[in-house]
Amino acid sequence: MTMHRDVWVLLEAEDKKIKSSSVALIDEGRRLAVQLGGGLTAVFLGQTVEGMDHLVGTHGASNLYFIHDETLHQYAPELYERLLTQLLLGKKPYLVMAAATSLGSDLMPRVAAKLKAPLVSNCVEIRVGEDMKFIKPVQNGRLHATVVCKAPGTKMATVDPDVLTIAKEENQPKIAEVTEMRPDTEGDRLSIRVTGFLKADHRTIDISEAEIIVAIGRGVGSEENFKIIQEFADRIGAAIGGTRPAVDAGILPFERQIGQTGKAVSPKLIIMCGISGAMEFTKGIENARTKVAINMDRQSRVFKSVDLGIVDDLNRVIPQIIEHIDAMADEEKGQ
Amino acid sequence: MEHMWTREIFWNVGADKKIVVYCLAVIALGFFSYGIYRRYFLWRKVSRNKGRISFDALGKRVRSLIIDGLFQRRLLREYYPGLMHAFILWGFFVLFLGTLTIALQEDITSPLMGVSFLKGYFYLLYKLTLNIAGLLAMAGILMALVRRYIIRPDRLSRSAEQGVILIWILIILVTGFMLEGLRIYSLKNSWEVWSIGGWIVSEILSRLNAQDFSVLYLHKVLWWAHLIISFGFLAYIPFSRLIHLVTSPANIFINAPTSQAVLSPIVNFDASGSFGVSTVKDFTPRQIFDFDACTQCGRCQDNCPAYISEKPLSPKKVIEELKARWLETGELMKEGNGVEGKRGGENDGLLDEDVIWSCTLCMACAESCPVYISSFEKIMELRRSLVLMKSTFFPEIATFFRDVETFGDTFGRGRAFREDWAIGIDVKKISDGNQADILYWVGCQGTFHDRNNLIAGTLAQLFKAAGADFGILGKEEYCCGDPMRRIGNEYLFQKTAQRNIELLGRLNFNKIVTYCPHCFNTLKNEYPQFGAHFDVIHYTEFLRDLIRAGNLKITKNMEKRVAYHDPCYLARANDIYNVPREILKSIPGMRLVEPERAKRKTFCCGAGGGHMWMREIPGKKMNEVRVKEIMNGQPEIITTSCPYCLIMFEDGVKSLGLEGIKCLDVCEIIRDAL
Amino acid sequence: MKVIVFVKQIKYVYAQTGIDPKQNFIGPDDIVHIMNPLDELALEETLRVKEKHRDTEIVVISLGDGFAEDGLRKCLSMGADRAIHIYDADYGKLDAWMTAMVLAYSIRNQEFKLIFCGRRAIDDNGGLVGPYIAEILRIPHVSRVVKLEIDGGRSKVLVHRAVERGNREVMECTVPALFTIEKGINIPRYPTLPGILRAQKQVIQRMEIRDLELPLKSFGPALNLTETISLSNPKPKKRSGGLADATVSASDRLRLMMGGGDTETKGDSTLVEGSTDNVLSEIERVFRESGILPE
Ligand SMILES: Cc1cc2nc3c(=O)[nH]c(=O)nc-3n(C[C@H](O)[C@H](O)[C@H](O)COP(=O)(O)OP(=O)(O)OC[C@H]3O[C@@H](n4cnc5c(N)ncnc54)[C@H](O)[C@@H]3O)c2cc1C
Ligand code: SF4
Ligand code: SF4
């Protein structure tokens, strides 16, 4: 039975680099491949990335299928779908994984439908056992469902990128065997054409759509202090929202008010600066994923519902955080 | 010579002219009637709805007519304008009665029975009375002129018409006195000193040494002038603001029994129907009559918290603007040029949406209106149209509606959490098989708000301490519906009310005690519209009874300055303002300071009418305005008995940066004093 | 122009106040029936299409048990023209693939231009049904649509697709096509009262799954590709601060009740204060987890 228990992972790139979520996915794939007793293969569609074979190999994939063509530089749903389907039909791996990114979540169902393969989306954990068990959050994350695949053949999964972490242990430098494929895409008649890309500006994006928010409250005090907040938000690409007092004080326009009489937001991360966490405010951040609060008052209600609470003067902490981010960025460059 | 004390009615003019006078009178009355008739068309025909004036509660109507109409109770709440108006009204009323008395003698008693009663002491008294009345009226007019043109307060507009009217009245009075003076001067009867005004004129004349002939001539001319001006005045009434002489008392009569605390229900939910008001034609004739009864006195505006907080709303302007729309539409209809949907007919811009949403439904406008006009009633109709017909409102209100629909509470938390506030207090639950004397209706605020749920708990503990047999509905409790109704979603309100009525009707209890004044008002006054009559009391009443009965014993001294704020829906809507004061005063040492606007005249905290879930409309923050006003009395504690008010004041105290001022519910003070 | 919207009525678990661990502390009061919020956005988008293209006919279709009718009525009250209820007494047993088969075959013989779905349902968090339907019907689809415009000739649709960090891909797609709608595209309307009253009288067409002529010999959950075998409570996230009362887990709620209702529960970990290094390393961890800093 344990003949073909190969694991495949789909890679994505951004700014000519393999995305960190993809690297983490290779690590996850290796962990599963080891348990399944199969090999690990990565597949990548797109533009050449320097040192790709090394990176992939080092993280544990022995093979890399690299499909490249002008038409693939940007995500083209139908082409990606056709090419990946063809490849998988031929190789019949045991498990195919992608990160549940905008690309992964779009491509995987297309391919799964073509293959009639079972697909479990947005997994936070995959367990190897008698049956493979896929754990995913349901009911807005309140519960976890354990899903199994009933259909035979290739199993597919997308994995929540936020739970993927790059393994800490040192890897042996290794080079993956690269199979380059240059498909012929001339004949494809595409129904979907990608015509452009709009880069969001974190300063102007609507707070209800923002993924990262710096929320300010009365504790920020003055417009003067607001400058440091703006700088902080720029560093981490956050949209700025705030409490009603911040709006009343004229620091923010009404469209940026969060709460019962403002907007409801659902960012991945919200950093609350000088906010006491009044109920009228927290009504608006119920769907925020990770909450951080900076407040000098240890007793503040805001700390009751946060993932990280920092008890300190924001005018002291925030400049330090900015410095820290800059230092880290320099380190990155230095590498 | 007692019998001499009278006068010849057509002196110097000649009794033969009587017929001319009566012709003129008929003409004037003709104009008057025609004017009223035209108006009547506008009152009745512009509206699509059939309206009938109801005559139930006749006693109340007549009482209000006398107290508020004749005795000017509501007007006299403000001294200067009150007295001013009362002087004019009373003066004219008496003068009018005087003229009637003459007509009575000349046309009925004298020709038919040969009886003339205007003589002797009665005549002197009659003269004195009329003269005083005339002088009072004159004083009133002068006061009015000064007020409108010299010290003009913000709420009065500078209107030419008003000036014309005042001067006109002044001329009638002056010519009247002059006529009398001229007559006295030429007859030279010393007892006519009783006609003070006329006597003064005659004295002036004698100083001037007026010639007899010219005096008689002048008298004749003035006599006719006075007559024509007076009749002209009568004819002018229906064509000017003077129509309020008719409409205002009529309006008092019509509206007196209407309770401001309840909104009129929509009775027929029919898919093809139109709900609320989108064109003036949708108003009922009664509502339209309100527009015409408004005297533009501006009292409503002076008491409107939205106006005072510089929001874009003035209840006076609301009536004025709607009136203009109504007249426009009416005129077009009279011309009969197919006005359906044309100018004045269409909804867009009957009032600005910001105006419509600024109202907190605090009822202060209706409370202060001398002629029983409710501005907010009209605003409510427009809201209903926006919400029910057009579905245009702030997105946060849509969220609010969804929360209530899905979760049954105004916080969108859900029934699963309904009993959390009572964790650790051990409160009985009333259900089908489980009864109690008192049903404690906690309300969404008391249940879910993280400040108010402490108060809900305090109340439960007080009830327990007093040994009351009470229970809660627990998870079965549901929003009472007040905010939905006052935002304009009558449909959602009625569905909610029906659900609650069905549930409450099934259970066994004697009385409902509510924490929130809004629940209180809704359960007590609005559910009866749907056939549910429960015995509902507010917790302050319940606590007062418990204290009086000695079940709660106040033992501690509290040397504190405390300001009590009256919640609109307790004080204004339900006349409960002495009860909480009585409770507070039962605490030794407590010094109660009264805010400037208190009791029925209280000022809205800013959260009513759905504003708890609505953005702040540009202007000052209403809660800050109120907190500042309360702070004038330099209290250490601001207390109230409404969850909404409490949140608003805590917010206001914080945003004003007032250090050390505590906001407490009345029951928390009681708890601390036990 | 016919536009189809697939909507789902979901049993949403908003609390866990039950006492039975076997039920994952889900009590009878912890569930509300709501229309999937993103489906509501999808319907709203079609209503906006209709406002521009008057001849649009909006058909809403829902697979489900009796509760599905509530959702369909809501759609009608918002302005949908027709509603079809595909009745499934055993609702909840079919997986995404079988659901998509049913829904796709319910419209297979109809002439439609556009199909709208929500990007995912908040109960099962799948995001698969829409794409599967498109694949089964062999029409193109675009997922995560946050802006949509039909081109004048109605031969193609211009869309914005939401990708990471608020960025958008701009695409063109021929019709007929399917779009899955992402939040941010619009704010759904609240139905007017005449709408609500009208919807109460409207007839909802009811179909049985067996009438659909599925290309399958047998039918039922047995043909599912995946199956949910159990539900569990997630392991609590590492929190530095304490737990929100709104998100208190069932066991914590029990503790809370024993403890006299004090909501000031503190989590296992404490707040960071004082040591700057500590603060910075904690915030760095959060940033990395949230993808702000490279991992
Ligand atoms: C009807 C109504 C509707 C409302 N709707 C909303 C709404 O939609 N949204 C909303 O946000 N609010 C709303 N509010 C207001 C709400 O009740 C709170 O008052 C508000 O959210 C508090 O804002 P805040 O936390 O900014 O200010 P505060 O409560 O004053 O808190 C300031 C905090 O900053 C801290 N702080 C001060 N200086 C510093 C420093 N240097 N460093 C670190 N920390 C510092 C303090 O310790 C304090 O905890 C509403 C209120 C009402 C009455
Ligand atoms: S109800 Fe209150 S807020 Fe509304 S118009 Fe009247 S006085 Fe103003
Ligand atoms: S509505 Fe009443 S209070 Fe307001 S201006 Fe008119 S008469 Fe005066």
* CATH number of the domain residue B458 falls in: 3.40.50
The share of chain C scoring above pLDDT 90, in percent, equals: 65
What is the dihedral angle through the alpha carbons of B16, B17, B19, B22, rounded to the nearest 10 degrees? Answer: -140
Helix (H, G, I), strand (E, B) or coil at A155: strand
Q: Is B357 in the pocket of ligand 2 (CB under 6 A)?
A: no
Question: What is the structure's pLDDT at A2?
Answer: 45
Which ranges in chain A belong to alpha helices (H)? 20-36, 52-58, 77-91, 102-115, 223-236, 244-248, 279-282, 314-334
Quote the tokens at residue B605.
């905290």
Decide: B600 and B572 in contact? Cβ < 8 Å.
Answer: yes
Is pLDDT at B340 greater than 80 in this prediction? no
Percent of chain A past pLDDT 70, that is, above it, reads 97
C231 → chain A, closest CA residue:
A145
CA distance between the termini of chain A: 45
Q: Does residue A173 sit in the same domain as residue A68?
A: yes
DSSP B615: P
Over residues B312-324, the pLDDT tens digits come to 999 999 999 999 9
Same domain, B88 and B65: yes
Q: From residue A269, give the alpha-carbon distance in Å to each of A241, A287, B66, C76, C238.
A: 12, 10, 68, 37, 15
C261 and C175 in a common domain: no
For residue A244, pLDDT over 90 is answered with yes
Q: Round to whole Å and give the CA distance between A242 and A229.
A: 11
| CB-based contact B573:B363 (threshold 8 Å) | yes
Boundaries of domain holding A157: 7-181
Lookup: tokens for B322:
């709607």
Alpha-carbon gap, residue B49 to B51, rounded angstroms:
6
Inter-chain residue contact A138 with C177, CB threshold 8 Å: no
Mutate to test the interface with A, among C279, C282, C284 (most CBs of A within 10 A): C279
The one-letter code for the residue type at B535 is D
Asked if A266 lies within 8 A of C183 by C-beta distance, the reply is yes
Q: Test C194 with B271 for CB contact under 8 angstroms.
A: yes
Digit-coded pLDDT (tens) for B407-423? 999 999 999 999 999 98
Average pLDDT, chain A: 91
| Together in a domain, C197 and C257 | no
H/E element holding B135?
helix B120-149
Which residues of chain B lie closer than 8 angstroms to A262, CB-CB?
396, 615
B390 touches chain C (CB under 8 A): yes
Query: In the listed set B357, B390, B423, which residue is the last one of a domain according to the structure?
Result: B390
* Size of the B and C interface in Cβ pairs below 8 Å: 66
Are B287 and B221 part of one and the same domain? Answer: no
Q: What is the mean pLDDT of residues A222-249?
A: 92
Task: Write the CATH number for A73.
Answer: 3.40.50.620
What is the CB < 6 Å shell around ligand 1?
A 217-219, 243-246, 257-262, 274-276, 278, 280-281, 294-297, 300, 313-315; B 607, 612, 647-648, 651, 654
The pick from B604, B605, B611 for probing ligand 2's pocket by mutation, whose C-beta has the most ligand atoms within 8 angstroms, reads B604
The whole-number average pLDDT for the span C181-196 is 95
Confidence of residue C294 (pLDDT cuts 50, 70, 90): low
Q: Identify which of A261, A264, A283 has the shortest CB distance to residue B614.
A: A261
- Same domain? For A143 and A85 the reply is yes
Say what the ipTM of the complex is.
0.92
For residue A162, count other CB atoms closer than 10 A to its CB: 17
Considering only residues A221 and B545, tell me which one the structure prediction assigns the higher pLDDT. Answer: B545
Do residues C3 and C43 touch, judged by C-beta distance below 8 A?
no
pLDDT tens figures, A82-112: 999 999 999 899 999 999 999 999 999 999 9
B450/A279 CB distance under 8 A = yes
Task: Taking residues B24-37, report their average pLDDT.
Answer: 93
Residue pair B141/B177 in contact by the 8 Å Cβ criterion: no
List pLDDT tens digits, range C127-174.
999 999 999 999 999 999 999 999 888 899 999 999 988 899 999 999
Residue C263 sits in the same domain as residue C156: no
The answer to whether residues A172 and A222 belong to one domain is no
Report the pLDDT averaged over residues B426-448. 94
- Note the pLDDT tens digit of each residue in A282-311: 999 999 989 999 999 988 889 888 888 999
Beta bridge partners of C58: C3
In this structure, the dihedral spanned by the alpha carbons of residues A321, A324, A330 and A332, taken in order and rounded to 10 degrees, is -90
Instruction: Tell me the pLDDT band of B336, cut-offs 50, 70 and 90.
Output: low
Count of structural domains within chain A: 2
Beta-strand pair B536-538/B591-593: unpaired
Tell me the chain C residues in contact with residue B393 when contact means C-beta distances shorter than 8 Å. Answer: 190
Quote the percentage of chain A above a pLDDT of 90. Answer: 70
The answer to whether residues C76 and C196 touch, using CB atoms and an 8 Å cutoff, is: no
Residue B328 CA to ligand 3 center (angstroms) comes to 20
* Mean pLDDT along residues B563-573: 97
Is C201 part of any domain? Answer: yes
C226 and B CB contact within 8 Å: no
As given in the structure block, the two tokens for residue B32 are 């008057």
Query: In the structure, what pLDDT confidence band is assigned to residue B575 with cuts at 50, 70 and 90?
Result: very high
Strands (E), B345-442: 438-441
Same-domain pairing of B562 and B428: no
- In the numeric block, the tokens 């707040």 are attached to C271
- Whether A177 and A216 map to the same domain: the answer is no
> Could you tell me the pLDDT band of residue B348, with boundaries at 50, 70 and 90?
low
CATH number of the structural domain spanning residue C98:
3.40.50.620
Based on the domain organization, do A124 and A233 belong to the same domain? no
Helix or strand holding residue C227 (H, E):
strand C226-232
Work out the average pLDDT over A208-228. Answer: 91
Residue C243 lies in a domain: no
Rounded mean pLDDT of B159-173? 91
Name the percent of chain B lying above pLDDT 70.
97
Q: Both B540 and B558 in a single domain?
A: no
**Over the stretch A135-158, which tens digit does the pLDDT of each residue have?**
999 998 899 999 999 988 899 999
Within this chain, do residues C133 and C269 fall inside the same structural domain, yes or no? no
* Structural domain containing residue C272: 250-290
Query: With the C-alpha atoms ordered C131, C206, C12, C200, is the resulting torsion angle positive or negative?
Result: positive
Count of structural domains, chain C: 2
Q: In 10 A of CB B257, how many CB atoms?
A: 16
Q: Does B270 touch chain C (CB under 8 A)?
A: yes
Give the tens place of pLDDT for each residue, C90-138.
Answer: 898 999 999 999 999 999 888 999 999 999 999 999 999 999 999 999 9
Closest-CA residue to B266 (of C73, C75, C77, C197): C197
| Tokens of residue C232, six digits | 């569990």
Residues 6+ apart with CB under 8 A from A34: none
> Are residue C123 and residue C77 in the same domain, yes or no?
yes
Residue owning tokens 């909802």: C204
Tokens of C26: 């889900």
Does residue C174 lie within any of the structural domains? yes
Domain with B300 in it: what CATH number? 1.10.1060.10
Q: What is the residue whose two structure tokens read 């104009």?
A: B31
Domain shared by B78 and B174, yes or no: yes
**Residue-wise pLDDT tens digits, B261-285:** 999 999 989 888 889 998 999 999 9
Closest CA to C253 of C33, C32, C30: C30
Q: Say yes or no to pLDDT of B63 above 50.
A: yes
pLDDT band at C29 (very low <50, low <70, confident <90, very high): very high
pLDDT at residue number C276:
72
Count the domains in chain B: 4
Domain assignment of residue B152, yes or no: yes
Clarify whether residues A148 and A218 are in a common domain.
Answer: no
Kindly determine whether residue B655 and residue A261, on different chains, have CB atoms separated by under 8 Å: no
- Does the beta carbon of B252 lie inside 6 Å of ligand 3? no
Structure tokens at B144: 């009015």
CB contact under 8 A, A194 and C167: no
Q: What is the CATH number of the domain that holds A267?
A: 3.40.50.1220
pLDDT at residue B46 in the model: 87
For residue A143, the model assigns a pLDDT of 93
Pocket test for ligand 2, best of B155, B316, B374, B376 (most atoms within 8 A of CB): B376
Distance (angstroms) between ligand 2 centre and the Cα of B367 equals 10
- Are A35 and A95 in the same domain? yes
Query: Is the domain of B197 the same as that of B323?
Result: no
CA dist., res. A309 & res. A300, Å (int): 10
Verify that A20 and A92 share a domain, yes or no.
yes
Query: Is there a contact between C14 and B407 if contact means CB atoms under 8 Å apart?
Result: yes
The alpha-carbon gap from B662 to the nearest alpha carbon of chain A, in Å, equals 17
> What pLDDT, on a 0 to 100 scale, did the predictor assign at position C33?
95
Supply the residue whose CA is at minimum distance from atom 19 of ligand 1: B651
Q: Which domain, by its residues, includes B499? A: 410-547
Q: What is the pLDDT of residues C229-273, one digit of tens each?
A: 999 998 765 544 433 333 444 444 444 443 333 333 334 334 676
> Is there a single domain that holds both residue C206 and residue C267?
no
Percent of chain B with pLDDT over 90: 74
User: Is B401 within a domain?
Assistant: no
Is residue C14 within 8 A of residue B402, CB to CB? The reply is no
Among A113, A143, A293, beta carbon nearest to C24: A143
CA-based nearest residue to B670, from B545, B575, B535, B524: B545
Q: Which residues contact A308 (CB under 8 A, 6 or more apart)?
A: A290, A291, A292, A293, C239, C240, C241, C272, C282, C283, C286
Residues in chain A: 335
What 3-state DSSP class applies to A51? coil
Residue A157 shares a structural domain with residue A240: no
| Smallest CA separation from ligand 2 atom 8, residue | B304
For ligand 2, atom 2, which residue shows the shortest CA distance? B362
Q: Which residues contact B393 (CB under 8 A, 6 or more apart)?
A: B357, B386, B387, B487, B488, C190
Q: Read off the DSSP letter of residue A2.
A: -
C162 three-state secondary structure:
strand
Whether residue A148 sits in one domain with residue A57: yes
The answer to whether position B144 is within a domain reads: yes
Q: Kindly state if the Cβ of B584 falls inside 6 Å of ligand 3.
A: no
**A194 in any annotated domain:** no
Query: Distance between CA A134 and CA A139 in Å, rounded?
Result: 16
Are B389 and C192 a contacting pair at CB < 8 A?
yes
Given a cut of 80, whether residue A190 has pLDDT beyond it is: yes
Q: Give the model's pLDDT for residue A4.
A: 67
B403 lies in a domain?
no
Cα gap B402→B408, rounded to integer Å: 9
Distance from the C273 Cα atom to the nearest Cα atom in chain A, whole angstroms: 5
Is B471 part of a structural domain of the chain? yes
Whether B460 is covered by a domain: the verdict is yes
pLDDT digits (tens, 9 = 90+) for B119-144: 888 888 999 999 999 999 999 999 99
Percent of chain C with pLDDT over 70: 86
Do A225 and A148 share a structural domain? no
Task: From B513, B547, B581, give the residue that closes a domain.
Answer: B547
Task: Show which of B185, B219, B245 is a domain's final residue.
Answer: B245
Q: What is the pLDDT of residues C53-65, one digit of tens each?
A: 999 999 999 999 9
- The secondary structure of A189-221 as a DSSP string is --SEEEEEEE---TTTS-TTT-SEEEEE-GGG-
| More reliable by pLDDT, C154 or C81 | C81
Please indicate, yes or no, if residue A150 is contained in any of the structural domains: yes
Burial C272-292 (b: 16+ CB within 10 A, else e): beeeeeebbebbbebbbbbbb
Ligand 1 mutation target, pool A220, A243, A270, A312, most atoms within 8 A of CB: A243
CATH code of the domain covering residue B212:
1.20.950
Q: Which residue shows structure tokens 């659909």? A: C212
DSSP string of B149-182?
A: HTS--TTS---HHHHHHHHHHHHHHHHHHHHHHH
Q: Which of A158, A181, A204 is the last residue of a domain?
A: A181
Size of interface A-B (CB pairs under 8 A): 24
How does the average pLDDT of chain B come out, rounded? Answer: 92
Instruction: Tell me which of B373, B377, B378 to substitute to probe ligand 3's pocket, judged by most ligand atoms within 8 Å of the beta carbon.
Output: B373
| Ligand 2 geometric centre to CA of B366 (Å) | 8
Q: How many whole angstroms from B237 Cα to the centroid of ligand 3?
A: 19
Q: Please indicate, yes or no, if residue C43 is contained in any of the structural domains.
A: yes
C116/C209 same-domain check: yes
DSSP state of A176: P
Across the interface, whether the CB atoms of B406 and C198 are under 8 A apart is answered no
Q: What's the rounded Cα separation, in Å, for the pair B286 and B282?
A: 11
Angstrom distance (rounded) from CA B36 to CA B41: 9
Look at residue C219 and tell me whether its pLDDT is greater than 90. Answer: no
Q: What is the pLDDT of residues A160-182, one digit of tens each?
A: 998 888 877 667 788 889 999 99
Per-residue burial over C108-123, b if 16 or more Cβ lie within 10 Å, else e, is eeeebbbbbbbbbbbb
B492 and B435 in one domain?
yes
Helix (H) or strand (E) holding B321: helix B315-335
**Atom of ligand 3 lying closest to residue B296 CA:** 5
Domain assignment present for B251: no
Q: Do residue A164 and residue A21 come from a single domain?
A: yes
Asked whether residue C219 falls in the same domain as residue C258, the answer is no
How far apart are the C-alpha atoms of B659 and C212, rounded to whole Å? 71
